[in-house]
Amino acid sequence: MNKTLILALVGVLALTATTLVAFHNHSHNIRVDQDPATLFKQFKQTYNKKYADPTFETYRFGVFTQNLEIVKTDSTFGVTQFMDLTPAEFAQQFLTLHEKVNSTEVYRAQGEATEVDWTAKGKVTPVKNQGSCGSCWAFSTIGAVESALLIAGQGEQNTLNLAEQELVDCAKSPKYDSEGCNGGWMVEGFKYIIDNKISQTANYPYTAKDGKCKDTSSFKKFSISKYAEIPQGDCNSLNSALEQGPISVAVDATNFQFYTSGVFKNCKANLNHGVLLVANVDSSLKIKNSWGPSWGEKGFIRLAAGNTCGVCNAASYPIV
């Protein structure tokens, strides 16, 4: 890449990008009115960003500056840990869901749903971080199973920590239609756990990369009996099923890259990310993500009620 061209591009962008943005600092937002260079310095410090050489850092600053223009377009956007990635790079690393519908049981609503918040009930485990591995499907699967077990009286909220890495390493083709860090599907994770049970992270630590499937026969393991899916697009059934426990859902997370807070609706319905629906309150859907607690609202995002981001189009949940 031509260094002179990079520097010229960055100079032009920096002159036009000074704006009022929300700088997301761990678990809270700080309103700042500073130039892009100052924001970039804060960004590097906050998220411990380091680059291979000055030329590459200059390129990343250019990307950061371009993304500031996107941040200005939506009140729920701000500076996140993904600000130095282009939208294409972000999608390649984090939006890797492989959609597949093949259920043995379908849940349909038996009436109008009521509001419920499983985080307030203490039945949602802490937010985790998938890192640069495309394992959102595994975190969505495990989050749903952890909550189902807590609701069934198995384990404690702050100590139950099941092994996403086991799904990444072991729930693979030909038997299970998933590809570890290259993407997968929550239903395939449920199938694996039904067949093999699931270990704890203490015995099978998360590495954020593909590995060889370990022998888990000596580990304590947890089980589910089956899973059910929600009819595609049936938001009433989704909200009704939520009364039983959190639900694995697929969403269009293309614009989640810059989300910091608020009720989000800036999306289409191109399902590319697996997350966990944990609450339906105040005309919004609360979603647990797997990008760490420094993203969004302490690791969560609120979607506008209804089929926002396609949240009602591919949903499933485990049954203990």
User: Under a CB-based contact definition with an 8 Å cutoff, are residues 170 and 213 in contact?
Assistant: yes
User: What is the pTM for the complete model shown?
Assistant: 0.88
Active site includes 289? yes
Domain span at 158: 116-319
Considering the domain architecture, whether residues 129 and 245 belong to the same structural domain is answered as: yes
- Domain assignment of residue 203, yes or no: yes
Considering the domain architecture, whether residues 166 and 281 belong to the same structural domain is answered as: yes
pLDDT 10s digits, 185-233 = 999 999 999 999 999 999 999 999 999 999 999 999 999 999 999 999 9
Q: Which band of pLDDT confidence, cut at 50, 70 and 90, is reported for residue 104?
A: low
- Domain assignment of residue 13, yes or no: no
- Domain assignment of residue 305, yes or no: yes
Look at residues 92, 125, 157 and tell me which one is the last residue of a structural domain. Answer: 92
- Domain assignment of residue 18, yes or no: no
Considering the domain architecture, whether residues 305 and 228 belong to the same structural domain is answered as: yes
Mean predicted confidence (pLDDT) in 95-108: 72
Q: Is the pLDDT of residue 27 over 60?
A: no
pLDDT score, position 102:
58
Considering the domain architecture, whether residues 206 and 261 belong to the same structural domain is answered as: yes
- Domain assignment of residue 19, yes or no: no
pLDDT score, position 20:
45
Per-residue tokens: 8: 């010229």
Active site includes 136? yes
Residues in the chain: 320
Task: Give the residue carrying structure tokens 């950061």.
Answer: 64
Considering the domain architecture, whether residues 63 and 120 belong to the same structural domain is answered as: no
Q: Which of 67, 196, 272, 273 is catalytic?
A: 273
Q: Is the pLDDT of residue 7 over 60?
A: no
What is the spatial distance between Cα 172 and Cα 57, in angstroms, rounded to a whole number?
Answer: 37
Considering the domain architecture, whether residues 176 and 293 belong to the same structural domain is answered as: yes
Q: Is the pLDDT of residue 22 over 60?
A: no
CATH number, domain containing residue 144:
3.90.70.10
- Cβ-defined contacts of 12-19 (< 8 Å, 24+): 13/62, 13/65, 13/66, 14/65, 17/65, 17/66, 17/68, 17/69, 19/68, 19/71, 19/72
Task: Give the residue carrying structure tokens 């411990």.
Answer: 48
Q: Which of 24, 25, 133, 136 is catalytic?
A: 136
Helix, strand, coil shares of the chain, percent, nearest 5, are 30, 20, 50
CATH number, domain containing residue 43:
1.10.287.2250
Q: Is 122 helix (H, G, I), strand (E, B) or coil?
A: coil
Considering the domain architecture, whether residues 177 and 311 belong to the same structural domain is answered as: yes
Residue 316 DSSP symbol: E
Considering the domain architecture, whether residues 270 and 230 belong to the same structural domain is answered as: yes
- Domain assignment of residue 3, yes or no: no
User: Under a CB-based contact definition with an 8 Å cutoff, are residues 227 and 316 in contact?
Assistant: yes
- Cβ-defined contacts of 28-37 (< 8 Å, 24+): 29/78, 29/260, 29/261, 36/61, 36/64, 36/65, 36/68, 37/61
Considering the domain architecture, whether residues 84 and 232 belong to the same structural domain is answered as: no
pLDDT score, position 98:
82
Considering the domain architecture, whether residues 41 and 140 belong to the same structural domain is answered as: no
- Domain assignment of residue 182, yes or no: yes
Q: Which of 289, 309, 312, 313 is catalytic?
A: 289
What is the spatial distance between Cα 46 and Cα 64, in angstroms, rounded to a whole number?
Answer: 14
Average pLDDT, the chain: 89
- Domain assignment of residue 231, yes or no: yes
Per-residue tokens: 243: 């009364």
pLDDT 10s digits, 41-73 = 999 999 999 999 999 999 999 999 999 999 999
| Domain count for the chain | 2
Considering the domain architecture, whether residues 85 and 148 belong to the same structural domain is answered as: no
What is the spatial distance between Cα 193 and Cα 216, in angstroms, rounded to a whole number?
Answer: 12
Mean predicted confidence (pLDDT) in 276-301: 97
Relative to beta strand 226-230, strand 28-34 is: unpaired
Residues 6+ apart with CB under 8 A from 91: 254, 272
Considering the domain architecture, whether residues 120 and 88 belong to the same structural domain is answered as: no
